[in-house]
Structure 1
Amino acid sequence: PDKVDMVIFRENTEDVYAGKELQEGTDEAKRLLEFLRDSYGWDIRPDSGLGIKPMSATGSKRLIRAAINFALENHRRNVALVHKGNIMKFTEGAFRSWGYELVREEFSGVAVSWQDCGGDPGDKLLVQDVIADAMLQQILTRPDEYDVIATSNLNGDYISDALAAQVGGIGIAPGGNINYESGHSIFEATHGTAPKYAGQDKVNPGSVILSGEMMLRRLGWDESADLVIKGLESAIAGKVVTYDFERQMEGATLVKTSEFADAMIERM
Structure 2
Amino acid sequence: MTTLLLLPGDGIGPEVTAQAARIAKALTPDITLDERDFGGISFDRHGAPITDEAVAAAIAADAVLMGAVGGPKWAGVARQSRPEAGLLRLRKEMQVFANLRPALCFDALADASSLKRELVAGLDIMIVRELTGGVYFGEPRGIETLPDGQRRGFDTQVYTTSEIERVSRVAFELARGRRNKVHSAEKSNVMESGLLWREVVTDLHKREYADVQLEHILADNAAMQLVRAPTQFDVLLTDNLFGDILSDAAAQLTGSLGMLPSAALGEAGRPGLYEPIHGSAPDIAGQGVANPLAAILSFEMALRWSLNRPAEADRLYRAVETALANGARTRDLGGQLSTVEMGDAVLAAL
TM-score interval w.r.t. the shorter chain?
A: 0.7 to 0.9
81, 86, 92: which one aligns with 2:189: 86
Mapped to 2, the partners of 1:105 and 1:182 lie a distance apart of: 26
167, 172, 175: which one aligns with 2:262: 175
Counterparts of 1:142-181 in structure 2 under 5 Å?
142-181=229-268
Mapped to 2, the partners of 1:75 and 1:47 lie a distance apart of: 48
Mapped to 1, the partners of 2:160 and 2:234 lie a distance apart of: 25
Please state if 1:214 is matched with 2:301. yes
Counterparts of 1:17-166 in structure 2 under 5 Å?
17-18=136-137, 20=139, 21-25=141-145, 47-72=151-176, 74-88=177-191, 90-107=192-209, 111=210, 124-166=211-253
Aligned to 2:123: 4
User: 2:329, 2:336 within 8 Å by CA — same for their partners in 1?
Assistant: yes
Mapped to 2, the partners of 1:19 and 1:201 lie a distance apart of: 39
User: 2:127, 2:243 within 8 Å by CA — same for their partners in 1?
Assistant: yes
Mapped to 2, the partners of 1:224 and 1:181 lie a distance apart of: 21
> Which structure 2 residue ranges, 5 or more long, are not aligned?
1-119
User: 1:76, 1:125 within 8 Å by CA — same for their partners in 2?
Assistant: no
Higher mean C-alpha deviation, range 175-184 or range 50-59:
175-184
Change (3 A) 1:48 1:80: same
Counterparts of 1:246-265 in structure 2 under 5 Å?
246=334, 253-265=335-347
What is the CA distance between 1:102 and its match in structure 2?
0.9
Mapped to 2, the partners of 1:178 and 1:144 lie a distance apart of: 25
User: 1:3, 1:143 within 8 Å by CA — same for their partners in 2?
Assistant: no
User: 1:66, 1:180 within 8 Å by CA — same for their partners in 2?
Assistant: no
283, 286, 289: which one aligns with 1:199: 286
Percentage of matched positions with identical amino acids: 31
For residues 202-255 of structure 1, the C-alpha deviation after alignment (integer angstroms, 9 at most, x for no partner) is 100111111111110112211111121111111212221111001xxxxxx411
Mapped to 2, the partners of 1:87 and 1:23 lie a distance apart of: 24
For residues 11-35 of structure 1, the C-alpha deviation after alignment (integer angstroms, 9 at most, x for no partner) is 011111116421131xxxx6xx9xx
For residues 114-142 of structure 1, the C-alpha deviation after alignment (integer angstroms, 9 at most, x for no partner) is xxxxxxxxxx3201110111111112222
Please state if 1:236 is matched with 2:324. yes
For residues 130-178 of structure 1, the C-alpha deviation after alignment (integer angstroms, 9 at most, x for no partner) is 0111111112222222100110011101111111101112111111110
What is the CA distance between 1:196 and its match in structure 2?
4.0
Root-mean-square deviation (CA, aligned residues, Å) is: 2.0
Matched residues, number: 229
What is the CA distance between 1:83 and its match in structure 2?
0.5
User: 2:183, 2:216 within 8 Å by CA — same for their partners in 1?
Assistant: yes
Aligned to 1:13: 132
Aligned to 1:227: 315
Q: What is the TM-score of this pair, normalised by structure 2?
A: 0.62
Change (3 A) 1:223 1:58: same
Q: Secondary structure at the match of 2:206?
A: helix
Change (3 A) 1:57 1:130: same
For residues 61-85 of structure 1, the C-alpha deviation after alignment (integer angstroms, 9 at most, x for no partner) is 111011101111x232201100111
Question: Which protein has the larger Cα radius of gyration, Structure 1 or Structure 2?
Answer: 1
Change (3 A) 1:11 1:217: same
Question: With CA pairs under 8 Å and 6+ residues apart, which has the higher RCO, 1 or 2?
Answer: 2
- Opposite residue 152 of structure 2, the aligned amino acid is S
Q: What is the TM-score of this pair, normalised by structure 1?
A: 0.80
